[in-house]
Amino acid sequence: MNIILLGPPGAGKGTQAARLEAQRGMVQLSTGDMLREALANGTPVGLQAKAVMDAGELVSDAIVSALVGERLDKLKGRGAIFDGYPRTQGQAEALDLLLSERGRQLDHVIELVVDEDALVERIVGRFSCAVCGTPYHDLYKMPKVQETCDTCGSHEFKRRPDDNEATVRTRMAEYRSKTAPILPYYEQRGLVRHVDGMLSVDEVSDRIDQLLAGDSARS
Ligand code: AP5
């Protein structure tokens, strides 16, 4: 099964993709993570993408689609969860080609429907352990022991440089103008399902599970 999680910044795409990966043995393909990894490794792609990401704008279709193609080649038959890709009509068309070249098809496009105003708080408050990546939030999930990771005991934490209010607003505007308009492309193929992304993390997971279970029962 190959699915796209679609929604604005902070909608919960990464959170739900990680859960699906753990529960279903699928592979999370996050273009944001791929670009941050490229930057951390000092690759030309990463260095080229840095200024664009810091501004909250979109990296070129050619760069991200090439990254996705490379990752798809390593999946060995496991299903893919596309997290943050595609984000433009050009990327949607590129993904169709990438999948068909590999004998894969798209099963669902799950749109996480959210209230954008609530998302700024979600994003600006998030941080993670710099060693093991365990996610935290200033308001909803602080470490149990002050400045100590619950999972690995590290005292180092990090925040994404693009998680400030001004950049988040630009990222949301990019979503509205370039990403939301690709929904009809998938709607006309009957692929789009909507899930209320304002529910709790567990409830959103349950809704996605129900949706995917219904699909398995039909096939
Ligand atoms: P990317 O890394 O993809 O960021 P994004 O789309 O802005 O999404 P986020 O990771 O911010 O949010 P999310 O929906 O994954 O939410 P999360 O689960 O983390 O992209 C970053 C940049 O890279 C882009 O701006 C662009 O420059 C570039 N880029 C990436 N892909 C690209 C592409 N395809 N083309 C061009 N450029 C690209 O949740 C957020 C917070 O909310 C967390 O704290 C979480 O714990 C919390 N939370 C999640 N769900 C819930 C819930 N249901 N209730 C309460 N809290 C919740």
- 71 is a catalytic site residue: no
Residue 137 phi/psi, 5° resolution? Answer: -145, 140
- What CATH number does residue 30 fall under? 3.40.50.300
pLDDT tens track of the chain, all 219 residues?
A: 999 999 999 999 999 999 999 999 999 999 999 999 999 999 999 999 999 999 999 999 999 999 999 999 999 889 999 999 999 999 999 999 999 999 999 999 999 999 988 899 999 999 999 999 999 999 889 999 999 999 999 999 999 999 999 999 999 999 999 999 999 999 999 999 999 999 999 999 999 999 998 765 544
How many domains is the chain partitioned into structurally? 1
- 171 is a catalytic site residue: yes
- 169 is a catalytic site residue: no
Q: What is d(CA 158, CA 143) in angstroms, rounded to the nearest whole number? A: 13
pLDDT recorded at residue 8: 95
Ligand 1 center–CA 5 separation, angstroms: 11
Domain assignment of residue 163, given as a range = 2-217
Binding site as annotated, residues: 10-15, 31, 36, 57-59, 84-87, 91, 126, 129, 132, 149, 152, 160, 171, 199
Kindly give the number of the ligand 1 atom that is closest to the alpha carbon of 126. Answer: 44
How many Cα neighbours within 13 Å face the side chain of 93? 5
**What tokens appear for 111 in the block?**
């749109």
